[in-house]
Structure 1
Amino acid sequence: MEAALVVLVVALALGFDYTNGFHDAANAIATSVSTRALTPRVALVMAAVMNFAGALLGTEVAETIAKSIVALDHASTSTELTVVLCALVGAIVWNLITWWFGLPSSSTHSLIGGLVGAGMAGGLPIFWSAIVDKVVLPMVLSPLIGFVLAFAVMIGILWIFRNAAPARTHRRFRIAQTASAAAMALGHGLQDAQKTMGVIFLALLSVGWADPANGIPLWVKLAAAAAISLGTYSGGWRIMRTLGRRIIELDPARGFVAETVSAVVLYANAFILHAPVSTTHTITSAIMGVGATRRLSAVRWGVAKNIAVAWVLTIPASAAVAAAATWLVTVW
C-alpha cells in the first residue's frame, strides 16, 4: 500500500511539474515573443532546454521545500504520504484554474500553500517561522525589488542610448533578448523544478527509499528536469498574452531589462538565500517596472490588479483545496 502511494505521489509530482512548465513557460519567453526577438516555437525550444539545464544546477531550494514547510517526521508513513499527495492535488487544481483564466499566478506558492493546508488538515506541525523567513518575506520583497531594479536599470538604459538611432538600438536589443530570455529560463528551471524534487524527496524519505545524508537522488533530478521541460515546450499561450501584451506593450530594450533583472533576482534567491521565490511574481513586477518608465498610465493597472488578486489568493486557495482533499481522503 505504501509503495503504491509513493508511486502515485511521484506521478502526481511530475504531473505538477509538467503543469508548472506550461503554466510558467510565459515567464521566460513572453517578453521575447511579444517584441518579436524570437518566434514562439524557437522561444519554447530554447526555454525547454534552459529549464532542463537550470533544474540540474542545485538542490538548495528543494531542500527548503522538503525540510522547512511541514514536519512530516511526527506522523505515520501513510499520513505523511497522504499529506504530500493532497498538497499536490491542491497545487495542481489551482494551477489549472489560473491557467484557464490566463492569470500568471505562482506555482511555487500553490505548492507551498498545498503543503500547509494538507499538513494542517493532517494534524502535522507547520514551521511557521521558516515559512515567514523563506516564503512570505521573499514573496513580498522579490516583486518590489524586481519593480524598483527594473525601473532603475531602464532609466539608465534610456539615458545611455538617448542619442542612439532607435531602429539600430531596437535591433541590437532584440539580439540581446536571446541571451536574457535564456537566462530567465535557466532561473525558472533552477527555482521551479527544484520544488518538485523536494516533494518527491519528501515521499521517498517517508518510506526510507532515500537517505537524507546523500541528498536528492539523480533520477529525481532528471525526472523533474524532464517534466518541466516537456511542460514548457507544450507552451502557455493564455498567460503569454497576459504577460507579453496586456500589462504593457513592450519594446526590445524593456523586454531585455525585465528578463535580465528577473534572472538576477531568481539566481540570488536560489544560490544565496535558498528561498523558493516565484518566477511569475518576479517577471511580472519587472515588466511593470520597465513599463512605468514611459509613464505610470502606460501600465494597464487594471490587469495588474487582477494578477495581484491571484497572487494573494494563491496560498490560501491551494491550501483550502489541499485541506479539503486531505479531509476527504481521511474520512473515506
Structure 2
Amino acid sequence: MEGLGEAELCYPHLLNSSCRGTMPPRTKAVILYALLSFIAMLTVTLNLLVIISISHFRQLHSPTNLILLSLAISDFLVGLLVMPIDTMRFIETCWLLGDHMCAASYVIGFTLTSASVGNMVLICIDRYVAICHPLQYPNKITHSRVQVSVCLCWACSLFYNGLILTDHFREPDRHNSCYGECLVVISHVSGAVDLVFTFIGPCAVILVLYMRVFVVAVSQARVMQSHISAVPNGTVIVTATKSERKAARTLGIVILVFLLCVCPFYYPSLAGQDMSNGAPSWAFVSWLLFFNSCLNPLIYAFFYPWFRKAIKFIVTLKIFEQDSSHANIF
C-alpha cells in the first residue's frame, strides 16, 4: 500500500507536500491525446495556410485582409502554444512544467484571446466604413492606419493581461495547495474589470456596428435589385460593391461564431464569481474558446473562393514558381 501511495504522488521525493494524481484509463487518455492533438494540428495547419495566402499573393494585400492576417496569427499561436499545453493540463492530473511555466501559459492564452477580440472589433470597424461610407473608405481605412491599429491591439493585449495576472506571475504558487498543481484564480474585482474591457465593451461595439452594417447592406441590396441609380433631385446613390457586402456577411459569420464560443468562458464573471481553472466547467469553456481558432479558416474556405484557390497554389507548390505572387486568384 505504501508503494502504491508513492506511485500516486506527482513528485514522489516530496512525500509531505506533493499533490496526488490519478491518471485516467490508458485507452481514454490515448483517445483524448489523439483527438486534442488532431485539433491542435488542424488549427496550426489551416491558419498557416491563411497566413501564407495573405502574405504571398499581392491581390490579397488589402486593409481587410491585413486584419484577417492578424487574426490568423493569433489563432495559429493558439494551436501552436496554447492547445498542446492545455491538452496535457486537461488529461494529466499533475502539472510537471513548473510554477513559472504555469503563469506564462495563462498570460499567453489570455493575451491571444484579447488580441482576437481586438481583431474582431477592427473587422467590424472596417466593414462599417466599407458598407456605410464607401466613398470615404479608401481615405479612412489605409494600410498604414490598419498596421498601426493591429500593432496597438497586440501591445494593449499583452500589457493589459500582464497587468491582470501580475500577482500570479510574481507568486505563481500562491493558490496552490501542494506541489504539482497549476491553479489560477482571478478575483471577482479583476474578473469584473476584464469582463468590461474584454467582453462587454467590445461585444457592444461589435453588435452596434454590425446591426448598422446589416441594415445598410439590406437597403443597398434592395436599391441594386430595383436598378435605382439616382433619386429625383439627381443625386447619385453610392452603394458598396457586391464583394464588399459578401465580405461583410462572411465576416459577420466569423464574429457570430466567435461570440458563441467566447460567451461561456465569461459566464463566471457575469454571475459574479471568481474565475478559476479548478472549476469543473473550465476544460469545456476553455476548449470551446480554443476551438474557435480552428473554425475561422474553415469559414474562409467555405465562403471565400480566393482562399480555396490559394490553398491549391500552396499545396501544389505553385507558389514557388516565378511571379506566383502576382497570380490572379479571384
TM-score normalised over the length of structure 1: 0.28
The structure showing larger relative contact order (alpha-carbon pairs under 8 Å, at least 6 residues apart) is 1
Greater per-residue helix proportion: 1
TM-score normalised over the length of structure 2: 0.28
